[in-house]
């Protein structure tokens, strides 16, 4: 199982790019209103690919729209990569690429398993920059 995970992480590392993952956390006041938003940043490696015709499940889910891409993530990024602790990608996280374009993880469409253990995660990301 570890060898399969290592092999896939090597592919993501070799063909992917570095992104800054930004995780926002809301602090709510006693009335339930948002009183503050804090951000944590992590370095992650992501392999991004266009959504193809063969991705029928993505089309069936209604996620194959202009501006959306398919992204492959490690099942978990260790501190040695992130520089800020261990993290797994979640829907709602923001990714910033090397050109400072921002993407939101719209949905996690699957975590791929082998022998009962998570190997990697597939998600849909959407460009959220308004000026580009």
Binned at pLDDT 50, 70 and 90, residue 3 comes out as: confident
pLDDT digits (tens, 9 = 90+) for 88-132: 999 999 999 999 899 999 999 877 767 777 878 999 998 887 554
DSSP code of residue 87: B
Complete domains list, the chain, with CATH: 2-25+38-127 (2.40.10)
| Contact indicator for 77, 88 with CB cutoff of 8 Å | yes
Whole-model pTM: value is: 0.81
Structure tokens at 99: 């050109």
**CA 130, CA 128: separation in Å to the nearest integer?**
6
pLDDT tens string 25-75: 877 888 888 777 888 999 999 999 877 666 656 655 666 676 788 999 999
């Amino acid at each position: 199982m570890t060898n399969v995970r290592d092999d896939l992480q090597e592919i993501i590392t070799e063909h992917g790019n570095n992104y800054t993952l930004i995780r926002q956390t809301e602090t709510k006041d006693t009335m339930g209103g948002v009183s503050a938003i804090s951000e944590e940043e992590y370095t992650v490696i992501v392999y991004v690919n266009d959504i193809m015709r063969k991705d029928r499940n993505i089309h069936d889910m209604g996620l194959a729209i202009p501006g959306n891409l398919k992204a492959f993530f490690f099942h978990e990024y260790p501190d040695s990569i992130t520089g800020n602790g261990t993290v797994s990608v979640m829907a709602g996280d923001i990714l910033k690429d090397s050109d400072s374009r921002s993407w939101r993880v719209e949905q996690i469409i699957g975590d791929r398993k082998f022998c009962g253990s998570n190997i990697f995660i597939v998600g849909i990301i959407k460009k959220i920059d308004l000026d580009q």
